[in-house]
Amino acid sequence: MTGVQTCALPIWGLLARALTHTSHIYEQPGIGPPSGDNEQLEFLGDSILGFSVSDYLVRHNPEFPEGRLSKLKAHLVSAVRLHEVAQELGLGEYLYLGRGEEMSGGRNKKALLADAVEALIAALYLDAGLDTVRAFIENRVVGGGPAVEQGLETAVSDHKSALQERAQALKLPAPR
């Protein structure tokens, strides 16, 4: 599927859309969502990211139990990790934002940048196919096998699960 054009928009149109926040669209006369913002691409990118990370983790860590894979995946697809990826790419400076979002620091907002990474993933998929987007995810989001194999799960802070497991071990009622 690599290199097959699967979307009517050329890559520059897809890229511009992936980097366009809804606030920018609402400020354009006669234009309104979903004609040009990144929300649909974000939706698609989220699914592609989840699938690709799951596939990578299973292929590279066949000995890991499901629980460990779930924690690793949760970390790798989290807003915290995607924000880091966006910062590494300098994505914030390329965003199309509305004036209000610009003035409130939108170029540095964790959720907004994480959403832009997901939209970028969808744009790559639509333009270049699954192999290209998998390579991007493995290089930029996962960061390569050694980080995973050396215990990336230690970077995962799933406090809710840890508290539930500890309460169960102590035969206490489930935390509320």
- The residues annotated as belonging to the active site are 46, 118
DSSP state of 69: H
Using alpha carbons only, what angle is made at residue 21 by residues 20 and 25, rounded to the nearest 5 degrees?
A: 80
Quick check: 99 and 27 in contact, CB under 8 A? yes
CA atoms of 61 and 133, how far apart (whole Å) = 20
Q: Which residues contact 62 (CB under 8 A, 6 or more apart)?
A: none
Q: How many CB atoms lie within 10 A of CB 82?
A: 27
Region class of 129: left (phi > 0), else alpha (psi between -120 and 50), else beta: left
